[in-house]
Amino acid sequence: MVTVRAPATSANLGSGFDVFGAALSRPADVVTVEKAAETTIEVTGVGAQYIPEDPEKNTVGAVVEALDAPARIHIDKGVRPASGLGSSAASAAGAAVALNRLYDRGRSRKELVPIAAEGEAVVSGVAHADNVAPSILGGFTVTTAEGTSSVDAAIPLVVCLPDVAVSTRDARRVVPESASMEDLVETVGNAATLAVGMCRSDPALVGAGMSDPVVTPERARLITGYDDVRERAFGAGATGVTVSGAGPAVIAACRERDRRDVAAAMLDGFAGAGIEARAYQTRIGRGTTFLDG
Ligand SMILES: Nc1ncnc2c1ncn2[C@@H]1O[C@H](COP(=O)(O)OP(=O)(O)OP(=O)(O)O)[C@@H](O)[C@H]1O
Ligand SMILES: N[C@@H](CCO)C(=O)O
């Protein structure tokens, strides 16, 4: 039996649509796998009632297929589904790392990224790897068609998750099909600033690079209260605020000393819109870890 802890992640970070990702120190899924003749999946924890246990429909089923590793799988969800916190990816990432060890498949962490991404295709129609990469590797990740680069970064974060669901599939429908040259230049500048900030563990630079003029404004419209949450977070000291993944979670970068105030301000913003929310005071963290030595 193998048990792993697979972290939540935040994709895009504003300027890095479908490219940037970050592992969060909390929350996380716990995935346990045991060899079996046929694959069965049991799901418990946050939002378990919305998650299919049929291997054809659960993200871990595609990982079992890719590694040819049938197993009895238990997923204890700490990451709520349809959150923008890489819920479906955390399970797939955890399953990939755990099954690789259980069956001694010998794949490196980087080789497991495209395998886990197959699970994302099951739920969103696209095998995007920007959530599974940080959940497997940890840190800040840059994923392109050529592979993933990662760097550890010490950046305090707040993610505020409103009590509403937005599916990635729906949120991809509002993404514009094209962008102007002006928007392209602004996005490249922001993305480069953010990447330098990650390499220097500098919350001011990371925050300055977290905005995007193309995708985020469209997605923000799907999140009631977003503008107020953003404004209040900046008022409490956030250095940058954007939609986490496909939403509805909102993510803020900040300095350690401001993290508690930023979390309270974001909760107030959603409360003002009549929406209950939960705030996680978190940071960029490690990738999937083994819990059983
Ligand atoms: N193991 C799993 N964990 C969570 N959701 C799963 C899993 N397997 C299948 N799903 C389905 O995936 C959907 C949630 O995935 P979706 O990509 O929309 O949200 P997310 O992973 O929280 O968001 P994001 O990718 O924006 O961070 C739900 O419909 C859920 O039933
Ligand atoms: N990059 C993907 C991540 C979804 O979690 C998107 O924004 O649609």
pLDDT at 122 (0 to 100): 86
Q: Which H or E element spans position 40?
A: strand 40-45
Domain 156-283 falls under CATH 3.30.70.890: yes
Low-confidence ranges of the chain (pLDDT < 70): 293
120 is catalytic: yes
Query: pLDDT tens digits, residue range 86-144?
Result: 999 999 999 999 999 999 999 999 999 999 999 888 887 777 899 999 999 999 999 99
CATH of domain 2-151+285-290: 3.30.230.10
Taking alpha carbons only, the member of 49, 48, 57, 51 closest to residue 78 is 48
86 a known binding residue?
A: yes
- Dihedral, 194, 198, 203, 207 alpha carbons, nearest 10: 20
Q: pLDDT at position 95, please?
A: 97
Q: Measured between alpha carbons, how far is 5 from 135 in angstroms, rounded to an integer?
A: 10
CA of 66 to the centre of ligand 1 (A): 19
Output the residue whose Cα is nearest ligand 1's atom 30: 51
Q: Where are the domains of the chain?
A: 2-151+285-290, 156-283
Catalytic, out of 3, 32, 118, 120: 120
Q: Pocket of ligand 2, candidates 9, 13, 15, 18: which has the most ligand atoms within 8 Å of its Cβ, to mutate? A: 18
Helices and strands counted in the chain (H then E):
10, 11
Amino acid 123: pLDDT: 82
Q: Is 277 annotated as a binding residue?
A: no
Is 293 known as a binding-site position? Answer: no
CA of 12 to the centre of ligand 2 (A): 7
Establish whether domains 2-151+285-290 and 156-283 are of one fold.
no
pLDDT at 233: 98
Judge if the beta carbon of residue 94 lies within 6 A of ligand 1. no
Is the minimum distance from the CB of 74 to ligand 2 under 6 angstroms?
Answer: no
